[in-house]
Amino acid sequence: MQALRNALLAWYETNRRRLPWRESADPYRIWVSEVMLQQTQVATVIPYYHRFVAAFPEVRHLARAQQQEVLKLWEGLGYYARARNLHRAAGEVDRVYGGRIPESFAEFRKLPGVGDYIAAAVLSIAFQQPYAVLDGNVKRVLARLQALDLPVDQPAALRRFRALAQELLDTRRPGEFNQAVMELGALVCTPRQPDCRGCPLATACTAFQSGRVAEYPKRRQPRAVPLYHIAVGVVRREDRLLITRRKSEGLLGGLWEFPGGKVKPGEPAAEACVREIAEEVNLQVQVLGLLTRVRHAYTHFRIRMDVFTCRFVAGEVRLNGPADYRWVRPNEIDAYPFPRANTKFIPLLLAALARE
Ligand code: SF4
């Protein structure tokens, strides 16, 4: 087993990518990078990471920021609960631990948004504590290495994968080792067409040695991803546009958006837009035309969004759903954090307004 670990560490030493968070031993920066890297690819994360740590170089800066500043820096990265939790957790680290990230697994794990993965990654990389990480890359490597028939996406299999990862961990260099397994999964033991001939684990890999790499990892049947039809209105009143803020918790919580909602079966999208705006913000509006149609995929569903330009007709804003609202000038929109489905059409909207 030790020979296998040494081979992997030697491979990592030579092949690892130079990434900005690997230049730092600061637990806060490692924490930020690991939170961003959950669900998001490295190339996407790099510019966000640079901007984030430039704006909040230490935990106390993040702790004392407004949630909206944090969400603005996260805009486009998705999974915004990560940002809200990181912000709240930084507040606790600042208040309860005097700005020092707790080195105890149990203490760190209690912070908002810190699950087993983040705790193991940060504590092993920053403090050399012997906790194995388990993410999609690690599970794939383990499933192939041992030719495991357990589906990687089955919660019941988690304990077994966790035990295997812990068994494989090199406890003398846990931070390096964890990164080495994940790097192998990202660069060599990739989901499709892994480079087994260039793999330091090839001689010990059951799937490779038995010619069954393509069979692993096993998965349950993929679930169908539903498609929702959404109607959204850009409501204009003189030189201002109406935007609303979603409640702090839940999907896209705390972000701003143009009001709207789901189109009912058989309902024309323009009528759904008028109805949703009346229900959500109590305004009567008239649809002027279709600005554009946007498609966007979330993890568990996809949306097709019809974006209408609307004229304010009557009413006073009374919120039923959103947490807040603003009538903003077009040149103020950039100050607000929006979800990706909205930022996809905002440039088009601003260009259309500029032409008028
Ligand atoms: Fe993955 Fe191939 Fe290496 Fe096995 S030999 S761990 S399947 S890359």
Calculated CA dihedral for residues 134, 139, 143, 145, nearest 10 degrees:
-70
For the chain, the structural domain boundaries read 2-215, 227-355
- pLDDT per residue of the chain (356 residues) written in tens, 0 to 9: 899 999 999 999 999 999 999 998 999 999 999 999 998 999 999 999 999 999 999 999 999 999 999 999 999 998 999 999 999 999 999 999 999 999 999 999 999 999 999 999 999 999 999 999 999 999 999 999 999 999 988 888 999 999 999 999 999 999 999 999 999 999 999 999 999 999 999 999 999 999 999 999 999 877 788 999 999 999 999 999 999 999 988 889 999 999 999 999 999 999 999 999 999 999 999 999 999 999 999 888 999 999 999 999 999 999 999 999 999 999 999 999 999 999 999 999 999 999 88
Please, what sign has the CA dihedral across residues 105, 111, 117, 123?
Answer: negative
Q: Report the DSSP pairing between strands 302-314 and 227-237.
A: parallel
Integer Rg of the chain from CA: 24
To 10 degrees, what angle do helices 42-55 and 27-37 make?
140
For ligand 1, mutation pick of 197, 209, 213, 216 (most atoms within 8 Å of CB): 213
CATH level 3 topology of 227-355: Nucleoside Triphosphate Pyrophosphohydrolase (3.90.79)
Helices (H) and strands (E) in the chain, counts: 15, 7
CA 195 to chain CA centroid, Å, is 28
- The SS3 assignment for 288 reads strand
Architecture of domain 2-215: Orthogonal Bundle (1.10)
Pocket, ligand 1, Cβ cutoff 6 A? 141, 144-145, 188-189, 194, 196, 199, 201-202, 205, 207-208, 213
For ligand 1, mutation pick of 164, 196, 218 (most atoms within 8 Å of CB): 196
* Of 172, 176, 162, the residue nearest 132 (C-alpha): 162
Calculated CA dihedral for residues 101, 177, 49, 115, nearest 10 degrees:
-50
**What pTM does this model have?**
0.85
Residue nearest to atom 2 of ligand 1 (CA): 196
The rounded Å distance from CA 332 to ligand 1 centre is 51
User: What distances in angstroms separate CA 351 from CA 241, 325, 347, one per listed residue?
Assistant: 14, 23, 6
